[in-house]
């Protein structure tokens, strides 16, 4: 499942002021994910102490940069027959529909086996179950929200963002399915 936040143990050293020197991803309770991770973190702390500067470890929570786009992609999925589907069921449904309706020899050859481009083509045309933004104004607003486009961009940059929109969604779709344990390859 996708978490809104990422949690870290941050190792800091005092070189006149506290500075981050290393970080280690942990669970939301700020505990290591397993014994091997705990040993590795403790070894890092020992190594930094050998440098002779004061060392401390602080907890840090940062927003997961992929969370917004992943949530958007999940919200785009519309399954008429199953309104209460779980996230994994929604992703699996789109995967199956994609392979049934789009993946056939001509398309695989046309897109040179690049599943991200093939999926981008699929979401451009599949409004029955995947309702991604297609109006330019909506694409520009979302592109700015997701960091694909700067707020103070020019017209050329806006045109490029519109052209990249569906490929951007497809690439993030592949990251999302991978993070949920769903194999999505040709």
The reported pLDDT for the residue numbered 186 is: 79
CA 142 to chain centre: 15
Q: How far apart are CA 120 and CA 97, in angstroms?
A: 14
pTM to 2 decimal places: 0.72
Structure tokens at 171: 């690439």
Element containing residue 14 per DSSP (H, E): strand 5-14
Task: List the strands of the sheet with 18-26, edge to edge.
Answer: 18-26, 5-14, 55-63
pLDDT digits (tens, 9 = 90+) for 158-179: 999 999 999 999 999 999 998 8
What SS3 class is residue 70? helix
- 34 falls in which pLDDT band (50, 70, 90)? confident
Find the mean pLDDT for residues 57-76: 90
Structure tokens at 92: 């699996």
Give the span between the Cα atoms of 27 and 25, in whole angstroms: 7
The string of DSSP codes covering 150-162 is -TT--HHHHHHHH
Taking alpha carbons only, the member of 98, 88, 112, 115 closest to residue 176 is 88
Dist. CA 144–CA 140, nearest whole Å: 6
Q: What is the mean pLDDT of residues 34-55?
A: 91
Domain locations along the chain:
5-63, 67-179
Percent of the chain at pLDDT exceeding 90: 60
pLDDT at 66 over 90: no
Can you list the alpha helix ranges (DSSP code H) found in 105-180?
Answer: 105-110, 115-125, 136-145, 155-179
């Amino acid at each position: 499942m996708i978490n809104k936040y990422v949690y870290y143990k941050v190792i800091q050293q005092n070189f006149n002021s506290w500075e981050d020197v290393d970080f280690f991803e942990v669970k939301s309770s700020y505990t290591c994910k397993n014994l091997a991770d705990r040993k590795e973190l403790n070894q890092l702390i020992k190594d930094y102490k050998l440098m002779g500067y004061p060392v401390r470890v602080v907890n840090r929570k940062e927003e997961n940069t992929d969370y917004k786009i992943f949530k958007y992609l999940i919200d785009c999925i519309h399954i008429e027959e199953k309104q209460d589907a779980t996230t994994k069921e929604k992703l699996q449904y789109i995967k199956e529909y994609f392979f049934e309706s789009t993946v056939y020899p001509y398309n695989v050859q046309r897109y040179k086996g690049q599943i991200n481009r093939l999926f981008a083509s699929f979401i451009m045309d599949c409004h029955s179950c995947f309702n991604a933004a297609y109006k330019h104004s909506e694409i520009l607003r979302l592109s700015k929200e997701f960091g694909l486009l700067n707020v103070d961009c020019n017209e050329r940059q806006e045109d490029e963002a519109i052209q990249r929109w569906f490929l951007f969604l497809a690439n993030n779709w592949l990251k999302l399915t991978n993070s949920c344990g769903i194999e999505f390859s040709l």
